[in-house]
Amino acid sequence: ETHLNPNYTFDNFIIGKGNQMAHAAALIVSEEPGKLYNPLFFYGGVGLGKTHLMQAIGNKRLEDHPETNVKYVTSEAFTNDFINAIQTNRTEEFRREYRDVDILMVDDIQFFAQKEGTQEEFFHTFNALYNNNKQIVLTSDRVPQEIPKLQERLVSRFAWGLPVDITPPDLETRIAILKNKAKLDNLSIPNDTLAYIAGQIDSNVRELEGALSRVQAYSKLKNEPVTTDLVYEALRGLKLTKANRELSIVDIQNKVANYFHVSINDLKGKKRMKSIVMPRQIAMYLSREMTSNSLPKIGKEFGGKDHTTVIHACDKIAEIVKIDADLRKEIADIKSALN
Ligand code: ADP
Ligand code: MG
């Protein structure tokens, strides 16, 4: 039992700017597991293809080398298995099951946060596999350093291999994904209509697919072909979600100002006190990380500062985050409040 979804293949995966690194690394790992990138660690927002890409590695490997022992689990399944094993005195069996594999994939490991015992067990699972040159693939919605209550020794191990981020698809990629999906579903939809849908839904691929299903259902219901007008009607109710989802620089400024008890004017101003400079730089850093705005645009929103000031702020915070656990925690808090 590998628990792999057979549809999550490389063939069905559209490559774009936001995922090309992750895709390339995944391909290499499927060809030579346990060699170059171990562990392979994908991180990024929900619905961006982390699970798909992870499982594509397993599917490809099994296709080319059916004898490979591939195991895919969510972090919750790992946790549950472990707890069950303890309760039924079957930890030996549990260990065999997780350590006698060639490729172990654990999805959404941010849910290991807070779970001391599970982290301990996973630490040993990790070491056993790693020392035997077995491949480990992990995903998370954020970098290991930002997962609250994740043991330092796991944080550092997760960074041993290759952490790669997956970012939201740009318009061209979204159109290509829709074209591919329409083809798989045997739908005939004009290109400009697909482009219109891709223009409306810019949050993530899961929502994009959801929109396509909605359009399809609507077209069946009305017994009309899919045209841009029909799409407009079908997606009307979704507009709100889109607007809510798009995080703005202003949202970030408000949240940061609130969190550090400084005023928005101070965030945008020129005061040099540390108690203001730090929140200002954090707000710039988060604007860079969490929105798709350009550096000049971010500078403009912070009282008309130069883009080099923004770069400096981002670099500075990125440096401190590496060594300062408190700041990491603060940033993680602000981020989760924003999400
Ligand atoms: P995540 O694990 O990051 O939340 P998933 O892997 O579950 O995201 O992807 C959500 C949906 O979007 C899945 O149906 C997946 O097949 C599809 N998907 C994501 N990225 C792509 C892509 N680049 N090409 C084709 N389909 C994609
Ligand atoms: Mg997933």
Write the ipTM: 0.99
Nearest listed ligand to the Cα of residue 22: 1
Return the pLDDT at 243. Answer: 44
Return the pLDDT at 235. Answer: 87
Give, using CA atoms, the residue closest to atom 26 of ligand 1: 13
Q: Which of 55, 206, 209 to mutate to test the pocket of ligand 1 (most atoms within 8 A of CB)?
A: 206
For the CA of 107, the nearest atom of ligand 1:
2
Give, using CA atoms, the residue closest to atom 1 of ligand 1: 47
Return the pLDDT at 215. Answer: 93
Residues of the chain with pLDDT under 50: 240-243
For the CA of 166, the nearest atom of ligand 1:
3
Return the pLDDT at 298. Answer: 94
Return the pLDDT at 106. Answer: 97
At 142-191, the pLDDT tens digits run 999 888 889 999 999 998 988 999 999 999 999 999 999 999 989 889 99
Count of residues making up the chain: 339
Give the distance (Å) from ligand 2 centre to CA of residue 221. 31
Give the distance (Å) from ligand 1 centre to CA of residue 208. 10
Give the distance (Å) from ligand 1 centre to CA of residue 52. 5
Return the pLDDT at 72. Answer: 97
Return the pLDDT at 319. Answer: 93
Give the distance (Å) from ligand 1 centre to CA of residue 46. 9
Q: How many CB atoms lie within 10 A of CB 244?
A: 9
Q: What are phi and psi of 198, to 5 degrees?
A: -60, -30
pTM recorded for the entire structure: 0.74
Give the distance (Å) from ligand 2 centre to CA of residue 127. 24
The reply to whether ligand 1 has any atom less than 6 angstroms from the CB of 22 is no
